[in-house]
Amino acid sequence: MDVEEFVRRRIAQGQDVAQIRDDLSRLVKEYKPGVHSSYALEFSDAVIQEVRNTSGLSGDLFTSTRSGVKMGEFGVGSRGTGDFFAHRQIARIIGKTGAVVGVDEMDDAGVVPIPSSAGSAGDERGNSRYVVCTVDGMHSRLSDFPYLAGFHATRATLRDAYVMGARPVMLFSDIHVADDGDVAKIFDYTAGITTVGEAMGVPLVSGSTLRIGGDMVLGSRMTGCVGTVGLAGHLTARRSTTPGDVLLMTEGAGGGTIATAALYSGFSEVVEETINLHFLTACETLLKDPVLPRIHAMTDVTNGGLRGDAHEMAETAGCRIVIKEKLVSGLVQPRVRALLERLSIDYLGVSLDSLLIVAPAEASPEIMKVIASSGVRIEEIGYVEEGKPAALIEVGGELKDFTPRFREAAYTPVKKVVDRTARDFDEMKTQVEAAALAAIRKKEAVLKRIRPVDS
């Protein structure tokens, strides 16, 4: 419950301030049943005063160009076409940088070169030439399950480093808990992080702990992220995908998404299948093997499922990707596959946390042998060819469109309800893009003011 937004909305609607004060004080007592009525009224008065003090301000530092499009209705965070479009606007705002792999490539991690002054030239055999950094937010529906939230966010960020060809060397974390949340959430979340970190020999070295909205958000909601820094010699970025390559995929049992689907659909016993390190151990095995430099690209099957990742890889590399459905279906862990089928969830459009490898056809047998030696099952599931950037899927000998949907597959009862939009997508895109361009202009204006004058 965001009390600041509550007051701003009521004032904007022209409601009587005395009524706003009374309504807010009742809400405060509902969320904090032990407080005295005088405290609730005093708190409400303070919130109203702060809202008044920060209303009507003007200028670049205090206002932003509104898009008129809400996060939910555009599907931001839902790993579909709206989310991908929004992230490409973020890349435009960031602009061109000195990164070897930047956000404009929509990859799993960012990469910068190790400065020459650091004394590491590196080579293709794995000596470090690059610093790799990535961060993953915890699944928003795991707020009441902080250990799972920390565990799966850590696996996710380590995956994103590994698939860039990097060996993770440290973890960092962030956790925000609303004002009424139990302090123990912080501890359980940290335990989840360090379970994975200690198992993989990657220490948690820094982080931040705050309240969501400070005093302004009532309730116990938790959110946070886990990031990692790694070192790499041979990069396996998506842009290296080349016509003639084949796609290899490991068996997946899912992570935070599958755990959430199981929990909120009444099948908590399936969560156990997600508690494993298969992906990470497979990558560790690859990084130690001479076959690594033969791999062109890697990613994890997460963003909108295989639909989303295949589409983004094709767009980034400028080629056509073909997936053979009959070879993919058997790579979903059996209990997880049964859950998805029972709940009518499209397994191709949901995060499976499988490892996806792109490599020359002649390297495929050796790569599969190395992965299999780690105890992880892997199959060749598709190929890359020249053509207009697109993702296709072969079903019964027929090629069909394999582009992502507006949102990833709806995997909880609530998501099945909200999995729709009444607004025209192209119209929303235009409005969102306009807001992104306004943010770029603001950035440039402020930079012009604060940059030192050239001597």
Both tokens of 171, joined, read 């973890």
Least confident of 35-39, 79-83, 134-138, 205-209: 79-83
37: number of Cβ within 10 Å: 11
Question: How far apart are alpha carbons 18 and 7 in whole angstroms?
Answer: 11
| pLDDT tens readout for residues 330-370 | 999 999 999 999 999 999 999 999 999 999 999 999 999 99
Average pLDDT value for residue range 306-313: 90
What is the model's pLDDT at position 118?
A: 52
Backbone angles phi, psi at 270, to 5 degrees: -75, -20
| pLDDT tens readout for residues 56-94 | 999 999 999 999 999 988 888 887 888 889 988 998 999
- In sequence order, which residues have a C-beta less than 8 Å from that of residue 220 and are 6 or more positions away? 143, 177, 178, 180, 181, 182, 185
Amino acid at 135: V
User: First-to-last CA distance in the chain?
Assistant: 51
Q: For residue 120, name the pLDDT band (cuts at 50, 70, 90).
A: very low
Q: What angle do CA 243, 245, 251 make, to 5 degrees?
A: 140
Both tokens of 189, joined, read 């979340």
Residue 75: CA count within 13 A, CB half-sphere: 26
| pLDDT tens readout for residues 194-247 | 999 999 999 999 999 999 999 999 999 999 999 999 999 999 988 999 999 999
Both tokens of 33, joined, read 């049943």
Please state the separation of Cα 98 from the chain's center in Å.
23
Average pLDDT value for residue range 3-16: 96
What is the model's pLDDT at position 117?
A: 57
- In sequence order, which residues have a C-beta less than 8 Å from that of residue 214 and are 6 or more positions away? 179
Nearest to 3 by CA among 56, 38, 60, 43: 43
Question: How far apart are alpha carbons 228 and 226 in whole angstroms?
Answer: 7
Helix (H, G, I), strand (E, B) or coil at 49: helix
Question: How far apart are alpha carbons 407 and 415 in whole angstroms?
Answer: 10
Higher pLDDT, 121 or 193: 193
Helix (H, G, I), strand (E, B) or coil at 179: coil
Q: Across 320-389, where does the E strand assignment appear?
A: 320-324, 355-360, 378-385
Question: How far apart are alpha carbons 455 and 434 in whole angstroms?
Answer: 36
pLDDT over 70, % of the chain: 96
What is the model's pLDDT at position 127?
A: 62
Name residue, tokens 């060809």: 165
Residue 337: CA count within 13 A, CB half-sphere: 9
Average pLDDT value for residue range 304-321: 91
Domains of the chain from N-terminus onward = 3-53 (no CATH), 98-235 (3.30.1330.10), 237-411 (3.90.650.10)
Q: Across 72-214, where does the E strand assignment appear?
A: 110-113, 130-137, 166-177, 204-210
What is the model's pLDDT at position 280?
A: 96
- In sequence order, which residues have a C-beta less than 8 Å from that of residue 82 and are 6 or more positions away? 74, 75, 76, 406, 407, 425, 428
